[in-house]
Structure 1
């Protein structure tokens, strides 16, 4: 149904005269008459009786009027759902327990009136495809322009360098250490069954292993975080890497240890990706918040792959 014709009908019903409806809508009286005639033809009924002093609703016009008003209200709700600033900002994070989700929660605490729709896509390729399609507004991923040629229109900025930690059980050889160097981990078994070849996190940990001579095993099925933590807690030989901001909870009797890595500290480079033509005001606010809260780390004390610099 032509909503302009419906809007004209409501204006004429409220004004009582086609001439006044034309003035309200900033169109000609002839255009008002034509729109209403088209609507009457579509409905198969007369909506007005014309008279020298104006136009009066017929019985059918009176019956249609509340539904016409409902159509216009539905139109306004539909427009509001996608109007910049009214639609929720849709943001992809690599995992709901990982640092990007923590960053997003910090943004929401600082901007509690901002509506967010948080999704989790598989990898950077899926995130870039979703950005190009317009199904998400932004994504936190470990990519930079130096890492890959992003499609035209997709922009990226590194927003957080997250320190990597070693997670061990109480029986592990390094469990009592206050910190360890990456080089000291050579010869130890680092188990990360969640690594998937071709993903950005696999590329990162491959580079980390190559740089410091580490053995990172991705063997065995990935049953999720809790089974991984259970295995690490009971093992004297296995350890795993976790981000400093990864949210983990375990029973007190497991006595797991999160051990900082030092000299240098490997950091995972989280970047924010977005479409350059996206005018959503909450996206602008998110970018400004991340820029204002970013912590600069001394490059000499940290390590990240060359493609991330």
Structure 2
């Protein structure tokens, strides 16, 4: 549908005459007539009855008017979603069920009038590239590089440390434990098929496994969360690791167990990445909000993060 014709129709309906619509749109009356005629041909109905005093909406025109207004509003929202300086704050999260998405939901609850677009990129390198290019405003990622090794103009701040948990089925040897230590996990098979070599999460779990002698297996295709949970529920010798704030749902019959890990507690270091010259007002609001969330400052051995996050 020709939206310029729809705009001419709405302007004529509001003005009550084609001449007034032409003045409002800064086009000729002939152009207004041509656009509306084309719209009527497309819809196969008459939208106006022409009178000596102007133009009066037909019954079909009255029915079409509110939808026409919605079309123009949708067009404006679509344009605003990509228009520099006016689009919604565009933020990358590693997954929509993971902790960063929860942080973003908390920001939305605190600032419900702030428009947000949420995207999911593959890894930190892709996120940094998109932030640099300005196609996204910020990204939640673990940052494996020191601040002075980030690309010019890119800034990052650690905003949240998320404790990890062991996830087991009901027949696993550790299923009845209220908590487990990292030392207790040594010798148990931890299956995490979603780990992809070269990503920031692979770097994290590689260092975790090396530091505590864990067996983390990444073999087999990653069919997604539900098949992973089904396999963990049915296999006594397998467990996996999840973030404390990861949102998971499983059938009651699976009877999965989420068990805290302590001595020390491994925490995943979530950082916010943004471009220093980005002046989007909502970005400042997001950074201020996350500043109140904070990262754990416990460095006395009760928590563990990789060397690159310290």
* TM-score interval (norm. to shorter): 0.7 to 0.9
* Alignment CA distance shift 1:147-1:212 (3 Å): farther
Cα distance in structure 1, aligned partners of 2:293 and 2:274: 19
Between the aligned partners of 1:271 and 1:164, the Cα distance in structure 2 is 16
- What is the correspondence of 1:131-150 to structure 2 with a 5 Å cutoff? 131-143=131-143, 145-146=145-146, 149-150=149-150
How has the CA–CA distance of structure 1 residues 83 and 132 changed in structure 2, closer, same or farther, with 3 Å as cutoff? closer
C-alpha distance in 2, partners of 1:173/1:202? 26
Unaligned runs of 5+ in 1: 1-59, 68-72
Aligned-pair distance for 1:120?
Answer: 0.4
Per the alignment, do residues 165 and 250 of structure 1 end up closer, same or farther by CA in structure 2, a change over 3 Å counting?
same
- Within 1, Cα distance between the matches of 2:247 and 2:158? 21
Give structure 2 stretches of 5+ with no counterpart: 1-26, 35-71
Verify the 8 A CA contact 1:264 1:303 in the aligned structure 2: yes
TM-score by length of 1: 0.74
Alignment coverage as a number of residue pairs: 245
> Post-superposition shift, 1:296?
2.9
Structure 1, 123-132 or 147-156: larger mean CA deviation:
147-156
Distance 1:201 1:155 in 2: 20
194-203 or 138-147, larger mean C-alpha shift: 138-147
Pairwise CA distance, 1:63 = 3.7
User: Contact 1:100 / 1:140 at 8 angstroms: preserved in 2?
Assistant: yes
CA distance in 1, matches of 2:222, 2:137: 29
Which position in structure 2 is the counterpart of 1:303? 304
**Matching residue of 1:103:** 103
2:131–2:275 Cα contact (<8 Å) kept: yes
Residues 66 and 246 of structure 1, relative CA distance in 2, 3 Å threshold: farther
Bigger radius of gyration, 1 or 2? 1
- Following TM superposition, where does structure 1 have runs of at least 4 consecutive aligned residues deviating by more than 4 angstroms? 64-67, 77-81
CA distance in structure 2 between the partners assigned to 1:169 and 1:117 by the alignment: 36
Kindly indicate whether the alpha-carbon contact (under 8 Å) linking 1:144 and 1:157 is maintained by their aligned counterparts in 2.
no
RMSD: 2.5
Shift of 1:144: 5.5
Q: TM-score, normalised by structure 2?
A: 0.74
Paired position in structure 1 for 2:222:
222
User: For each residue in 1:155-188, what CA deviation from the matched residue of structure 2 results, as whole angstroms up to 9, or x when unmatched?
Assistant: 0000000001000000000000010111111100
Q: Distance in 2 between matches of 1:81 and 1:203?
A: 34
Tell me, in whole angstroms, the C-alpha distance in 1 between the residues paired with 2:230 and 2:80.
Answer: 49
- Partner-residue secondary structure (3-state), 2:258: strand
